[in-house]
A and B are shown apart, each in its own frame.
Chain A
Amino acid sequence: MSATRIYVPCDSAALSVGADEVARALGAEAARRGLAVDLVRNGSRGMMWLEPFVEIETPQGRIGYGPVRAADVGSLLDAGLLQGGAHTLRHGPVEDMDFIKRQQRLTFARIGVTDPLSLDDYRRHGGLAGLERAKAMTPDAIVAEVQASGLRGRGGAGFPAGIKWRTVLEAGGPQKFIVCNADEGDSGTFADRMVMEGDPFMLIEGMAIAGLAVGATRGVLYIRSEYPHAIDTMGKAIAIARKASILGPAFDIEIRVGAGAYICGEETSLLESIEGKRGQVRAKPPLPAHKGLFGCPTIINNVLTLAAAPSIIAQGGKAYAQHGMGRSRGTMPFQLAGNLQRRGLFEAPFGMTLRELVEDIGGGTASGRPLRAVQVGGPLGAYFPESLLDTPLDYEAMAAAGGLLGHGGIVAFDDTVDMAKQAKFAFEFCAIESCGKCTPCRIGSTRGAETIVKIAAGRNVESNIALVKDLCTVMTDGSLCALGGLTPMPVMSALNHFAEDFRRAPARDAAE
């Protein structure tokens, strides 16, 4: 009898709830029972509330079980786990699960399906087709394909990737660089991490395609230090890719590890950091595309942007552009986080509403209490009240509703949230992470937090609210980058949509 293949994820979310223990218990218990199993550590399917999510390969397809604890292994095997047997933890064929079926997985097509470090798996599932095709194309044709896809930067700003690539292609100079921004500092986001841990060769392939497109021979992958598993997996994948001559003297990649500074996700600060300096934001111009790393023309793109390149080149830009809405083309890996029943990664074309994702896909709050606020796009994103949940998730519609889509993180709060506290946190976070270059950001953020403390204590509430609003205007207008410039977004959305939370304390008006 041939061994039954069992999948237990190695994604760090799965590890954080005991996937290693489950894998060990499965191996040991199968051996004890004399059962032949072939244990594969896959990426995560993104259904984090079901992690550790164990899958069994059967003639009927892969059958899923979760959340599995090490203590469940005995009863699962008793129930005929290896034949896909019935059990309270069984969810049936994975491909038929609602959360999976309703997605359109382009970037995440392989993640959770394959062994992240198996180059054979990667090839079998369509990997390297883009790079092979790119090798036969002119740089100009590669860039034209990316332009035709309508791909916009997934790091937050939504800048058209093709235009950035063309700028670097046309820039002169003996050395050019590809920099991948894997700093993923936005709270509520983990898509970059899942790509690096779940399909590292896709990112390597994307960077190599970018290298071919603009004539760059070196790439730097800047990963935040908070992601030790992503760093480890990418390191191993790069070593495998070098052995397989996917990387080499013509194009090679080096990992750089961040050092706990949110601002280093900002592209110019990130470049300073690679250069060994304080992560202070550079004034633009010059753009990194003209003078980037060590003054050389540089493409700097988010992980998801570069990870989209292989399928765009393999299938053509037009195919990619068929998904989405308006000027937001393709798909977006949305990240459902916070107080939701079903949390995880959901890749869908742009244009779904926030309500569909939070209520329908996410299943409402995990606590069972009423949903009160949803923050979209990380710490610099707006808090949406219930009345704005019908806003479609695309770059322009979110902006029109006074928010931003950012990196696609969606964090839900139930009715126990105190929005004055959230506004205070937004200021505090800005104060902690400010690079210190602009006064409104460096000083204003601390002043803002102090003023909200006074408001919460009921001291001169209306005049202090006016002061916070003024401060927000100054920060919006007088900041060099979006940390200072967009901190007002969570603050003002809290003030505008949740005004009652700022007027809870009994008034204690007094001369200050």
Chain B
Amino acid sequence: MSYTSAAETFDLARAQDVAREEQARAQAFFGTACGNAAALLPILHRLQDMFGYIDQTALPMIAKTLNISLAEVRGTMSFYHDYRTARPGRHVLKLCRAESCQSMGVDHLVDHLAARHGLAPGETSGDGALTLQNVYCLGNCALSPAALFDERPVGALDAARLDSLIAEAQQ
């Protein structure tokens, strides 16, 4: 489950395999009660894990596999903050902007990222190394300010630790 390994280009045939697999899995687990769209979130998650984003060309295939409308697939996908429609940077830094991290000065870190690295939340650095993303609580509030660097938790962040994460992303 890491975007870093997602160097491969979007592959519709493999996406189709994922959709069929998740569909079968959901039906086996939920039995006759299972609704048509039950596998949709797992499919979207796996595609994003594999390719770093979900290519729009996959949506009609997903709709067809699950026997739901394209509008339903689009509607669900657009509702959730996690799903991306375009490839992110090679690394993703999810920075917690919620209250506990505010109380420990995360806003100063955001200023530092802008001033020192020209990086704003929601943006990817010019060299494609890092995407910065706001998130709201990572459950590491006792070690605020907190972030997730790809899937690696980092706590007690300060400007120096941020700088070294960015250097790591650029390697």
Give me the interface of A with B, judged by CB distance under 8 Å.
12-13, 15-17, 48-49, 51, 174-175, 184-190, 192-193, 218, 225-231, 252, 254, 256-262, 273-280, 293-296, 335-339, 343-345, 366, 375, 379, 409, 411-414, 417, 422, 425, 429, 432-433
Report the separation of the CA atoms of residues A48 and B153 in the bound assembly, to the nearest whole angstrom.
14
Of A175, A190, A228, A425, the contact of B141 (CB 8 Å cutoff): A190
Within the complex, the shortest CB–CB distance from B90 to chain A, in Å, comes to 18
Assess the A275–B35 pair: CB atoms within 8 A.
Answer: yes
Give me the interface of B with A, judged by CB distance under 8 Å.
1, 29-42, 44-45, 66, 68, 72, 75-76, 79-83, 94, 98-104, 135-144, 146, 148, 151-156
A20 (CB) vs chain B CBs: closest residue: B152
Residue numbers in A under 8 Å from B83 (CB-CB) = 259
Residue numbers in A under 8 Å from B68 (CB-CB) = 276
Residue numbers in A under 8 Å from B140 (CB-CB) = 12-13, 16, 190
Assess the B148–A188 pair: CB atoms within 8 A.
Answer: no
Assess the B30–A294 pair: CB atoms within 8 A.
Answer: yes
Within the complex, the shortest CB–CB distance from B109 to chain A, in Å, comes to 15
Assess the B37–A16 pair: CB atoms within 8 A.
Answer: no
Residue numbers in B under 8 Å from A345 (CB-CB) = 142
Of A48, A225, A261, A337, the contact of B79 (CB 8 Å cutoff): A261
Residue numbers in A under 8 Å from B142 (CB-CB) = 13, 48-49, 190, 335-337, 343-345
Residue numbers in A under 8 Å from B141 (CB-CB) = 187-190, 335, 337-338, 343, 409, 411
A274 (CB) vs chain B CBs: closest residue: B38
Residue numbers in B under 8 Å from A425 (CB-CB) = 99, 102
A-B contact count (CB 8 A): 174
Within the complex, the shortest CB–CB distance from B105 to chain A, in Å, comes to 9
**Main SS of chain A's interface residues?**
mixed
Known: A17-B155, A218-B29, A278-B76. A411 touches B99 (CB 8 A): yes
Report the separation of the CA atoms of residues A375 and B100 in the bound assembly, to the nearest whole angstrom.
9
Report the separation of the CA atoms of residues A337 and B96 in the bound assembly, to the nearest whole angstrom.
14
Of B29, B80, B99, the contact of A375 (CB 8 Å cutoff): B99
A435 (CB) vs chain B CBs: closest residue: B79
Assess the B35–A12 pair: CB atoms within 8 A.
Answer: no
Within the complex, the shortest CB–CB distance from A442 to chain B, in Å, comes to 13
Assess the A338–B37 pair: CB atoms within 8 A.
Answer: no
30 contacts between A and B (CB under 8 A): A13-B153, A17-B143, A17-B155, A48-B142, A48-B143, A49-B142, A174-B32, A187-B98, A188-B100, A189-B141, A218-B29, A252-B29, A256-B41, A257-B41, A259-B44, A259-B45, A259-B81, A260-B80, A260-B135, A276-B36, A276-B41, A276-B76, A294-B30, A294-B33, A294-B35, A296-B33, A337-B100, A338-B104, A338-B144, A366-B104
Report the separation of the CA atoms of residues A186 and B96 in the bound assembly, to the nearest whole angstrom.
12
A375 (CB) vs chain B CBs: closest residue: B99
Report the separation of the CA atoms of residues A187 and B104 in the bound assembly, to the nearest whole angstrom.
13
Report the separation of the CA atoms of residues A422 and B40 in the bound assembly, to the nearest whole angstrom.
36
A383 (CB) vs chain B CBs: closest residue: B99
Report the separation of the CA atoms of residues A173 and B82 in the bound assembly, to the nearest whole angstrom.
35
Of B45, B98, B146, the contact of A257 (CB 8 Å cutoff): B45
A229 (CB) vs chain B CBs: closest residue: B153
Report the separation of the CA atoms of residues A261 and B141 in the bound assembly, to the nearest whole angstrom.
18
Known: A17-B156, A175-B32, A335-B142. A262 touches B104 (CB 8 A): no
Please name the 5 residue pairs, one residue from A and one from B, whose CB atoms are nearest each other, closest first.
Answer: A276-B37, A16-B155, A276-B40, A259-B80, A187-B98
Residue numbers in A under 8 Å from B99 (CB-CB) = 187-188, 338, 375, 379, 411, 422, 425
Of A226, A273, A336, A422, the contact of B138 (CB 8 Å cutoff): A226
